[in-house]
Homo-oligomer: A and B are copies of this chain.
Amino acid sequence: MKQVEEILKKNHLSVTGSRQKIMQLFLNSNGALAHADIEKKTGESFDRVTVYRTLQSFVEKGIIHLIPTRDNSIKYALCKDDCEAGHHHDNHVHFICDECSKTICLDDVTVPQVKLPKGFTPQHAEMVVNGICEECK
């Protein structure tokens, strides 16, 4: 079975054209995608609304997740490990290249613990690093 189908089925989503195409986009790009990227890359082949709804259901199922960025543009990323393992652990560092502006999931770099002031209880931490990526250096 194709990887795309597998992922969709595992998450109890029916396998439709738009979902397959969008999921394939994520699998191809090892970075993160914004809503606009997705509309562009699929060549306007389906409705803007479908993109919204597809992304939303992917997020709900935990297949992709939002990445916080410094300029607060909204990006989504699928992280290989998560999806193949079937359980979600997105506590890795995200890297955004200042040169090519790609967003990359550093699956192997986990977010370090920090000591918080008295009274604060941490639950989840997110970390985003900006700089120059592997390809642009």
Contacts and interface: CB of A to CB of B under 8 A. Distances in A.
Interface of A: 66, 68-72, 74, 93, 95, 98, 106, 108-109, 111-112, 114-135, 137
A50 to B, nearest CB: 21
Contacts of A124: 70, 129-131
Contacts of A126: 68, 70, 127-130
Q: Oligomeric state, in number of copies? A: 2
Contacts of A125: 127-130
* Residue among A115, A117, A118 with the highest chain B CB neighbour number at 10 A: A117
A66 B68 CA distance: 11
Contacts of A130: 122-126
A112 to B, nearest CB: 5
Nearest to A112: B112
Contacts of A111: 114, 127
